[in-house]
Structure 1
Amino acid sequence: TRMSWTLGIFFWCFSGSLAGVAILAVGVWVKVDSGSLLGVLDNIKDAPAELGQLANVAYLLMGVGGVLLIMGFLGCCGAMKESRCMLMLFFIIILIIFIAEVAGCVVVLVFQPLAKEVLEDLSEKVVDSIQRDYGKDESLTSLWNGTMEQFKCCGYRNYTDFDGSPFQEKPTNPTYPPTCCIKTETCTAAAAERSNVNGCFTMLLNLIEDNAVIIGAVGLGIAALEIAAMVVSMVLYQQIGNK
């Protein structure tokens, strides 16, 4: 009956609003969690375009989440007023969101297997940047320090990335940044070797893989809800037209 389909729309509106909050939260988390590491790579010349696409996925998720919240209200109004115009608008926007989500998931799924290869290819350029500018370029130095403190990592590969950098030329500085050593002692080569802190390459690779799994799982769940919403809205649209 039409009442059953109307209740179906209401159910989707509630579920869609919750899903919108979930997607918005995941988007914000991906952006905050990956911002500093991807910011470091943005300073590297000739960095692969895929890195920028990965960062854009966070904005896509936030946009989709916000629109889903609005769609919850639109779907409720369309069902309550039995407005075919609002139901059709509801269907079209949900379809657009569905296509955008598929595009975002494709970017993530395609990039994930290539992540290790891309990041390894960047290794030489990143290390050259560290050895040339870390300790001299305040912007890059601050970005690296923030990244290493946040992710508890050292350099791109390991502490040796700082060998020959301007940082070591200042007599007031220890041999290596403090984050390269676990203890609070002066971070000498021996202390850094004993600490064996992971490079940020490893942390970034783990970040990409973890985010891809979460984004994929959320995307599959939301896609199922969106397909159901489109079916229910079109059935109700048809029944309202036949009354």
Structure 2
Amino acid sequence: MGASEEKKEACGTVCLKYLLFTFNFLFWLAGVVVMAVGVWTLVEKSDYISLLSSKTYAASAYILVLAGAIVMVTGVLGCCATFKERRRLLQVYFGLLLCIFLLEILAGVLAYIYYQQLNEELKQNLRETMTQKYQQIPHEQITRAVDKLQQEFKCCGSNSSSDWADSVWIRSRGANSRIVPDSCCKTQTELCGRRDHPSNIYKVEGGCITKLEKFILDHLKIIGAVGVGIACVQIIGMVFTCCLYRSLKAEPY
């Protein structure tokens, strides 16, 4: 009976090892995905971050990048701990899983909170940012972001093209009699912003604020879903780790 029980226990440990190894490989791939989402948000869409007064959106992306990097390292550590059957390594591995779990839940919570307050922030700040900082010397990044926003989303002004009438730059000589920036034009050419007729510029109902809000909300959904989704998967890994830990004999000191 004793030999039979030991054999069953050994088989159970082997099964747990392979389950945990498979999990770690998939977990490592998930880390690559999490990191890629964070990096893509920060690099590809970094210009739009400069248009937001709050840093919550960027913070969520940075947390994903950090969590993704730790996940990749943890996946390798988990494989080593599994095959070497070292309880201490499994303890470290479990601790890292818990840290990543908390980081990704935090990213998801931040994304959700910012999701709720985004509309109000854009209403309060986007128009002022565009009219007061566009084409001003200390704010070159905002100028690039506004031009990219208007061209990419085919819009003009925060709420409408008439917002540009209050622009510091439009009122200056540097505007060369433009009524709106050239990036408002359907076909962008030098000084095309002198005509604000609907045949020449984008006249979108709701202006750029509705377009930017939809874009960021879509990205917040992705950030939140990735963070919370991977965190839920980690619960399985933590359960497997605990089971394997309990099945291994204590290491001699």
Say yes or no: TM over 0.5: yes
Match of 1:76 in 2: 79
- With over 3 angstroms needed to count, the CA separation of the structure-2 counterparts of 1:74 and 1:214, relative to structure 1, is same
Shift of 1:81: 0.7
Match of 1:154 in 2: 156
Q: Distance in 2 between matches of 1:194 and 1:59?
A: 36
Larger deviation, residues 145-154 vs 16-25: 145-154
Structure 1: runs of 5+ lacking an equivalent: 42-46
Alignment of 1:1-80 (within 5 A): 1-41=12-52, 47=53, 51-80=54-83
Shift of 1:70: 0.7
C-alpha contact 2:115 2:220 (8 A) present in aligned 1: yes
1:144 counterpart = 2:146: yes
Match of 2:7 in 1: none
- SS of the residue aligned with 2:241? helix
- Normalised by the length of structure 1, the TM-score is 0.84
Match of 2:101 in 1: 98
Instruction: Provide the aligned C-alpha RMSD in A.
Output: 2.5
Q: Distance in 1 between matches of 2:201 and 2:148?
A: 23
- With over 3 angstroms needed to count, the CA separation of the structure-2 counterparts of 1:39 and 1:136, relative to structure 1, is closer
Q: Deviations over 1:197-223 (max 9, x none)?
A: 463322321122111221233234312
Match of 1:89 in 2: 92
Q: Aligned residue pairs: how many?
A: 232
Larger deviation, residues 83-92 vs 224-233: 224-233
- Percent identical among aligned pairs is 29
- Within the candidate set 180, 183, 204, 1:179 is matched to 183
**Rg bigger for which structure?**
2
In the alignment, residue 227 of structure 1 is paired with which amino acid?
I
Q: Distance in 1 between matches of 2:78 and 2:144?
A: 47
Match of 1:219 in 2: 227
Q: Which structure dedicates a bigger proportion of its chain to helix?
A: 1
